[in-house]
Protein backbone atom coordinates (compact mmCIF):
# COMPACT_ATOMS: atom_id res chain seq x y z
CA UNK A 1 0.00 0.00 0.00
CA UNK A 2 2.80 2.47 0.96
CA UNK A 3 4.80 1.71 -2.18
CA UNK A 4 1.72 1.74 -4.42
CA UNK A 5 0.58 5.23 -3.34
CA UNK A 6 4.06 6.70 -2.70
CA UNK A 7 3.51 7.49 0.95
CA UNK A 8 7.20 7.96 1.59
CA UNK A 9 8.23 10.75 3.88
CA UNK A 10 11.08 13.03 2.99
CA UNK A 11 14.11 12.72 5.19
CA UNK A 12 14.36 15.28 7.91
CA UNK A 13 17.45 17.46 8.04
CA UNK A 14 19.63 19.20 5.55
CA UNK A 15 19.29 18.67 1.83
CA UNK A 16 22.69 17.72 0.47
CA UNK A 17 22.54 19.79 -2.69
CA UNK A 18 19.89 22.34 -3.46
CA UNK A 19 20.52 23.94 -6.88
CA UNK A 20 18.13 26.82 -6.11
CA UNK A 21 19.98 27.91 -2.98
CA UNK A 22 21.89 31.20 -2.84
CA UNK A 23 25.18 29.35 -2.46
CA UNK A 24 24.62 27.41 -5.69
CA UNK A 25 23.45 30.55 -7.49
CA UNK A 26 26.56 32.53 -6.50
CA UNK A 27 28.56 33.14 -9.66
CA UNK A 28 31.43 34.93 -7.93
CA UNK A 29 33.44 32.16 -6.38
CA UNK A 30 37.01 32.19 -5.23
CA UNK A 31 39.60 31.71 -7.92
CA UNK A 32 40.83 28.16 -8.09
CA UNK A 33 44.30 27.74 -6.62
CA UNK A 34 47.13 26.23 -8.59
CA UNK A 35 48.13 23.14 -6.62
CA UNK A 36 51.30 21.06 -6.64
CA UNK A 37 50.61 17.36 -6.16
CA UNK A 38 54.16 16.07 -5.91
CA UNK A 39 57.49 17.49 -4.87
CA UNK A 40 58.85 18.95 -8.10
CA UNK A 41 62.35 18.14 -9.34
CA UNK A 42 63.39 21.30 -11.15
CA UNK A 43 66.19 21.33 -13.70
CA UNK A 44 66.35 25.12 -14.08
CA UNK A 45 66.63 28.10 -11.75
CA UNK A 46 63.87 30.42 -10.53
CA UNK A 47 61.54 28.01 -8.72
CA UNK A 48 61.15 29.47 -5.22
CA UNK A 49 59.73 27.74 -2.14
CA UNK A 50 58.84 29.80 0.92
CA UNK A 51 57.51 29.27 4.44
CA UNK A 52 57.55 30.83 7.91
CA UNK A 53 58.83 29.78 11.33
CA UNK A 54 57.27 30.96 14.57
CA UNK A 55 59.45 31.27 17.66
CA UNK A 56 58.30 32.35 21.12
CA UNK A 57 61.06 33.58 23.44
CA UNK A 58 60.13 34.90 26.90
CA UNK A 59 56.54 35.44 25.74
CA UNK A 60 57.55 37.44 22.64
CA UNK A 61 56.56 36.03 19.26
CA UNK A 62 58.84 36.30 16.28
CA UNK A 63 58.25 35.11 12.75
CA UNK A 64 61.06 34.20 10.38
CA UNK A 65 60.04 34.43 6.73
CA UNK A 66 62.30 32.35 4.52
CA UNK A 67 62.54 31.47 0.84
CA UNK A 68 64.92 29.29 -1.14
CA UNK A 69 65.57 28.57 -4.79
CA UNK A 70 64.99 24.83 -5.33
CA UNK A 71 67.95 24.34 -7.68
CA UNK A 72 70.53 27.03 -6.84
CA UNK A 73 69.89 26.81 -3.06
CA UNK A 74 69.99 30.61 -2.83
CA UNK A 75 68.09 31.53 0.32
CA UNK A 76 66.99 34.47 2.42
CA UNK A 77 65.48 34.56 5.93
CA UNK A 78 64.21 37.72 7.62
CA UNK A 79 62.67 38.37 11.03
CA UNK A 80 59.26 40.07 11.41
CA UNK A 81 57.12 40.74 14.48
CA UNK A 82 53.74 40.04 12.85
CA UNK A 83 52.53 37.22 10.60
CA UNK A 84 50.53 38.84 7.80
CA UNK A 85 50.45 39.20 4.03
CA UNK A 86 51.85 42.75 4.05
CA UNK A 87 55.03 41.51 5.73
CA UNK A 88 55.21 38.63 3.28
CA UNK A 89 54.85 41.10 0.42
CA UNK A 90 57.71 43.15 1.91
CA UNK A 91 59.79 39.98 2.26
CA UNK A 92 59.06 39.10 -1.38
CA UNK A 93 60.22 42.56 -2.53
CA UNK A 94 63.47 42.21 -0.57
CA UNK A 95 64.04 38.67 -1.88
CA UNK A 96 63.40 39.83 -5.45
CA UNK A 97 65.90 42.70 -5.06
CA UNK A 98 68.77 40.41 -3.95
CA UNK A 99 67.93 37.31 -6.03
CA UNK A 100 70.43 37.03 -8.93
CA UNK A 101 68.05 35.39 -11.43
CA UNK A 102 64.45 35.72 -12.56
CA UNK A 103 61.65 34.16 -10.55
CA UNK A 104 59.67 31.57 -12.53
CA UNK A 105 57.14 30.54 -9.86
CA UNK A 106 56.58 30.88 -6.11
CA UNK A 107 55.47 27.83 -4.09
CA UNK A 108 54.00 28.17 -0.59
CA UNK A 109 51.75 26.42 1.87
CA UNK A 110 48.19 27.61 2.58
CA UNK A 111 49.03 29.98 5.44
CA UNK A 112 47.27 33.28 5.99
CA UNK A 113 50.46 35.17 5.19
CA UNK A 114 50.31 33.88 1.60
CA UNK A 115 46.99 35.54 0.75
CA UNK A 116 45.68 39.03 -0.13
CA UNK A 117 48.45 41.61 -0.67
CA UNK A 118 51.12 38.99 -1.30
CA UNK A 119 49.03 37.14 -3.86
CA UNK A 120 48.08 40.42 -5.56
CA UNK A 121 51.77 41.40 -5.78
CA UNK A 122 52.62 38.07 -7.42
CA UNK A 123 49.76 38.61 -9.89
CA UNK A 124 51.07 42.10 -10.73
CA UNK A 125 54.52 40.63 -11.37
CA UNK A 126 52.94 37.80 -13.45
CA UNK A 127 54.49 35.08 -11.30
CA UNK A 128 52.39 31.92 -10.78
CA UNK A 129 51.60 31.23 -7.12
CA UNK A 130 51.60 27.48 -6.44
CA UNK A 131 50.06 26.04 -3.29
CA UNK A 132 50.71 22.72 -1.58
CA UNK A 133 47.97 20.51 -0.26
CA UNK A 134 47.18 20.82 3.46
CA UNK A 135 49.18 18.57 5.81
CA UNK A 136 51.68 17.61 3.08
CA UNK A 137 55.04 19.11 4.10
CA UNK A 138 56.93 16.72 1.78
CA UNK A 139 55.82 18.77 -1.22
CA UNK A 140 57.72 21.77 0.20
CA UNK A 141 60.57 19.49 1.27
CA UNK A 142 63.47 21.77 0.33
CA UNK A 143 62.27 24.73 2.40
CA UNK A 144 61.21 22.49 5.31
CA UNK A 145 64.70 20.97 5.49
CA UNK A 146 66.30 24.42 5.21
CA UNK A 147 64.14 25.69 8.10
CA UNK A 148 65.08 22.75 10.31
CA UNK A 149 68.78 23.41 9.70
CA UNK A 150 68.20 27.13 10.28
CA UNK A 151 66.53 26.40 13.61
CA UNK A 152 69.09 23.85 14.79
CA UNK A 153 72.19 25.75 13.70
CA UNK A 154 71.16 29.36 14.28
CA UNK A 155 68.00 29.93 16.31
CA UNK A 156 68.24 27.30 19.05
CA UNK A 157 71.93 27.86 19.99
CA UNK A 158 71.25 31.58 20.31
CA UNK A 159 68.40 31.06 22.77
CA UNK A 160 70.69 30.26 25.71
CA UNK A 161 72.33 33.30 27.32
CA UNK A 162 76.11 33.33 27.44
CA UNK A 163 77.37 32.04 30.78
Taking only the tens place, the pLDDT of each residue in 118-157 is 999 999 999 999 999 998 889 999 999 999 999 999 888 8
pTM > 0.75: yes or no: yes
In whole angstroms, give the CA distance from residue 14 to residue 74.
Answer: 52
Note whether 109 and 135 are within 8 A (CB).
no
Highest mean pLDDT among 14-23, 32-41, 67-76: 67-76
Q: Where are the domains of the chain?
A: 34-155
CATH number of 34-155: 3.30.420.10
* Eight-state DSSP code of residue 161: P
Q: Tell me phi and psi for residue 65, to 5 degrees.
A: -85, 135
Taking only the tens place, the pLDDT of each residue in 132-141 is 999 888 999 9
Q: Above 60 in pLDDT, residue 15?
A: no
Amino acid sequence: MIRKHHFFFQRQGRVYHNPSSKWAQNKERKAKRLRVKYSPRHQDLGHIQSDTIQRITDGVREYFYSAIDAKMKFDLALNYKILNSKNNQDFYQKFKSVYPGTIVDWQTDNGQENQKEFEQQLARDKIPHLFTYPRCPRINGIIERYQRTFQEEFLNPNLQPNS
